[in-house]
Amino acid sequence: MCNIPDVKLGLIAVSRDCFPIALSESRRAAIVRAYGDGLYECPVTVENEADMLSAVQDVTNAGCNALAVFLGNFGPETPETLIADRFDGPCMFVAAAEGDGDLINGRGDAYCGMLNCSYNLGMRRIRAHIPSYPVGTAEEIAAMIRDFVPVARAVLGVQSLKIITFGPRPQDFFACNAPIKGLYELGVEVEENSELDLLVAYKAHENDPRIADVCADMASELGSGGNNYPALLPRMAQFELTLLDWAAEHKGARKYVAFADKCWPAFPKEFGFEPCYVNSRLASRGIPVSCEVDIYGALSEYIGACVSQDAVTLLDINNSVPASLYEKEIAGRYDYALTDTFMGFHCGNTPACKMCADRAVKYQLIQHRLLEPAGSEPDFTRGTLEGDIAPGDVTFFRLQCDSEGVLRSYIAQGEVLPVATGSFGGIGVFAIPEMGRFYRHVLIEKRFPHHGAVAFGHFGKALYDAFRFLGVADIAYNQPKALPYPTENPFA
């Protein structure tokens, strides 16, 4: 199942009727040449409202689901903003720099026109993406449009997303509190079900003829070193098919799906395994399955998958790095203070492709202590995918609706260090510049939960623009020392 939008971009040029229309059209053509394949050039140049209707119809007929509106000259303020109002998809606005003609008949004044365009968008309360510096040459604008693609993909995904949940949030897990108001504001649909609904569906998949093929795929992914419990694979394959079928049958009017499932304490005993490895496999296909019915965690993961077009995970911002480990493996080798580091952990939901080669299916140590007899061999607590997370660049982020119904978010870029954790679960040593201050003045101060989504690479720019487009006003980040947080004690 394809669970991530495919962006088809259109380019519409606009022209103020007192400026040469040929200026916008030639500049539009230059952008198309600079961009290369994948950008549809609308032949209608918009000077008035009738042109606007024709242009929107043209790009819609061409299958475009995102637009770049280009001010080749000053631009007509009302028709150009109505493009974004009438078009069913995210739009960005960019403007032409001067320099490709004389400054008499070849001057377009789009630098000025962009100001009035922005003013008009605000008057109409139309959301649109305007790059950090939206005025440029054809090559520069082509680069801005490329940067818009992951933003558009995330917006399209969120607006057509249904999050399917199973079970209420576990007791004492206020971290997974999920006010519905914020989801509806974002355009996300929610379907909440009980664990019993899931168990009934799981049992209905017993002896499903597809189980053998899924088991073979799991065995191939894990390899001989990671497949510690071959006899467990059919149970997990049955569960994987249950979720995939539920997604297909329940997405309804929506195009895309994410899950937020209750995974303890009743799940392992009743299903006969831990769901973590299955969750990891779906996440690797762009279908996040968050732990502990963390609805906003699932939403954050899904946005990360859209932006990165890659597997993502959800981790606890879990434990500090021991000073002894820091001194032995990090100090003097990497430019991080001890307080810049922490361990990101979850039981075993990180996709295999994002873990070190020795990852393997194991058992959930904490649940084994809690649910199975002391000293016994693990039984139904098996099913986690454990090992160290592979080193490399990461972006740690989250979008959350707080208890007051306000959407908040954070984004912090850093890396997973090539340092063995010596611990259990899916875990890694993370390093984020100024993490100590960020931990106190963003995560604690703004009451963020301990779950954070992880994208594997640096995607802060696209995530920031996506959150802005979605209307999130509070976007926090790990500020440098030279920029104190509002709550930071200047005398400390």
pLDDT in tens, 160-189: 999 999 988 777 776 677 889 999 999 999
Neighbours of 371 (CB within 10 A): 17
CA angle 289, 205, 170 (to 5 degrees): 35
Distance CA 335, CA 192 (A): 45
For the chain, give the percent of residues with pLDDT over 90.
Answer: 92
Q: What is the mean pLDDT of residues 52-65?
A: 98
Domain ranges, ordered by start, for the chain: 9-153, 160-477
Distance CA 95, CA 220 (A): 51
Q: Which residue type is seen at 365?
A: L
Kindly state the greatest CA–CA separation across the chain: 87
Q: 414-446 pLDDT, tens per residue?
A: 999 999 999 999 999 999 999 999 999 999 999
* HSE toward the beta carbon, residue 166, CA cutoff 13 A: 25
pTM above 0.95, yes or no: yes
Distance CA 188, CA 163 (A): 7
Q: Strand ranges (DSSP E) for 88-239? A: 91-96, 135-136, 161-166, 189-193
Beta strand pairing call for 407-416 and 91-96: unpaired
Class of domain 9-153: alpha beta
- Average of per-residue pLDDT values in the chain: 96
Q: Which residue type is seen at 319?
A: N
Q: 78-135 pLDDT, tens per residue?
A: 999 999 999 999 999 999 999 988 898 889 999 999 999 999 999 999 999 999 999 9
pLDDT band at 403 (very low <50, low <70, confident <90, very high): confident
Helix (H, G, I), strand (E, B) or coil at 336: coil
Q: For the chain, what is the radius of gyration of the CA atoms?
A: 25
Task: Classify residue 98 by its DSSP letter.
Answer: S
Return the bridge partners of 355, or none.
Answer: 389
Q: Are 316 and 451 in contact (CB under 8 A)?
A: yes
